[in-house]
Amino acid sequence: MKKVIGLAAAVEMIPDGAALMIGGFMGAGTPPRLIDELVRQGRRNLTVIANDTARPGVGIGKLVTAKLVRRVITSHIGTNPETQRQMIAGDIEVELVPQGTLAERIRAAGFGLGGVLTPTGVGTTVAEGKQTVAVNGTVFLLELPLTADFALINAKRADYYGNLEYSLTARNFNPAMAMAAATVIAEAEDIVPVGVISPDAVGTPHVLVDHLIGKERGHG
């Protein structure tokens, strides 16, 4: 299977209205070329599942500014006044999820679990409408798995099989998201020959990656 495809062709696979998981934390670990290409192609009515919406002009903030996002499932929008403005204007629907719960809901989907029981949110507005389960006397919230049509993943390095290696705090939600979406599109800063990334350093095994964005053409 030929895994490496062009940037434009990758984004052309994403229809208007798609649900996207996008890796990153305040822009760190968000795939920059995929974001720019989504803006260039003007995909609309997107649902974005991500830790945050960064800042205007940064990472996912570019999608918000371009008014491509209809709904966002996220832990924090406080750093992006444009997200808040669009939310108040009714142009964007925001579902706020505690950060650890967001990570576990994504993980549950990718790991084949029917949900997770977490103490986070019990007794708060987050618990509204959710089932609670008592285990050995402690009350937990049942939080349901979260999946998406596509995961847009950012890695430090990939090999041509699609093995991904991450870097420091740019890792964040990327490994869990690469497990949880129907189609996984990865963008790496560099693509190296198979075997260069040591097995211990592989953060996401290649079988999870459907498409890998190729390097730009041209030398020097």
Residues that bind other proteins in the complex, under the rule CB under 8 A: 25-29, 51-52, 54-55, 58, 74-79, 84, 87, 94, 96, 98-104, 107, 118-126, 156, 166-176, 203
Residue 16 beta carbon to other proteins: minimum distance, rounded to whole angstroms? 26
Residue 54 vs 185, nearer CB to other proteins: 54
Cβ neighbours for 210, distance < 8 A, ≥ 6 positions apart: 3, 183, 184, 185
d(CA 34, CA 213) in angstroms, rounded, equals: 9
Given the complex with other proteins, which of 14 and 181 has the nearer CB atom?
181
* Residue 44 beta carbon to other proteins: minimum distance, rounded to whole angstroms: 24
Nearest to 43 by CA among 20, 61, 25, 21: 20
- Between residues 6 and 100, which has the closer beta carbon with respect to other proteins? 100
Nearer to other proteins, 14 or 35 (CB): 35
Smallest distance from the beta carbon of 139 to other proteins, in angstroms? 10
The pair of structure tokens assigned to 75 is: 């832990």
CA 193/CA 174 separation, integer angstroms = 22
- Reported as type and span, the H/E element at residue 116 is strand 116-118
